[in-house]
Amino acid sequence: MAYEAKNFEHLLGTKGLSDQLLKNHFTLYQGYVTNTNKLADTLNAMLKEGKAGTPEYSELKRRFGWEWNGMRLHEYYFGNMTKGGKPIDKNTNMYKKIVEDFGSYEDWEKDFRGVGSMRGIGWVVLYYDMIEGRLFNTWINEHDVGHLCGASPILIMDVFEHAFMIDYGVKKAGYIDAFFNAIDWTIDPELDKMLFE
């Protein structure tokens, strides 16, 4: 079954992110969905043709992680934003866990922003390690490199140039401000209880 691109047009009009920037970004995301489907179909056909041991199959298999993660990371990124943003509820277990692991919400935010301000392309991910029950802000250089094995992404910020250059040039700090103003911290009560209690 083919993956379908999700519609994130409800984000148009988000303060600090121009509609042109968002539309370009949506198009890029749709390309990841298209390429994920193409690679899945090609790999399946090659498998049926007995070409699983070929160098071509191997390289396409490696490429699949890039396209699939590009698709999924963008879905998380767009999915954790809303026009006007929604602040985190200080009564949630998520908020309490941030305070426990980082000392304060403000310290967590400084760290997340600091990771986002690092030079280079990539992603910033707030991960939850369900085994040890810890939160980490992590830099991912490429879609398919640097993920914390077994950890669940909670919040994603895209810091590839396409996410900010049209609006901010090389001044990433303005983009990070706009992102923070658009974060939707709505937390499902059942998930909050299950993960962080």
> Quick one: how many helices (H) and strands (E) in the chain?
7, 3
Binding-site residue numbers for Mn(2+) are: 25, 74, 158, 162
Binding-site residue numbers are: 25, 74, 158, 162
87 within a domain of the structure (yes/no): no
Last residue of one domain, picked from the residues 29, 49, 79 = 79
131 within a domain of the structure (yes/no): yes
Q: At what angle do helices 105-116 and 93-102 cross, to 10 degrees?
A: 70
End-to-end CA distance of the chain: 36
Mean per-residue pLDDT, 88-100: 95
Q: What is the DSSP string of 24-88?
A: HHHHHHHHHHHHHHHHHHHHHHHHHTT-TTSHHHHHHHHHHHHHHHHHHHHHHHHHTB-TT-BPP
Which pLDDT tens digit goes with each residue over 123-165? 999 999 989 999 999 999 988 888 889 899 999 999 999 999 9
pLDDT grade for 29, boundaries at 50, 70 and 90: very high
pLDDT grade for 90, boundaries at 50, 70 and 90: very high
Which pLDDT tens digit goes with each residue over 57-85? 999 999 999 999 999 999 999 999 999 99
175 within a domain of the structure (yes/no): yes
Domain limits for position 163: 93-196
**CATH code, domain with 111:** 3.55.40.20
126 and 104 in one domain?
Answer: yes
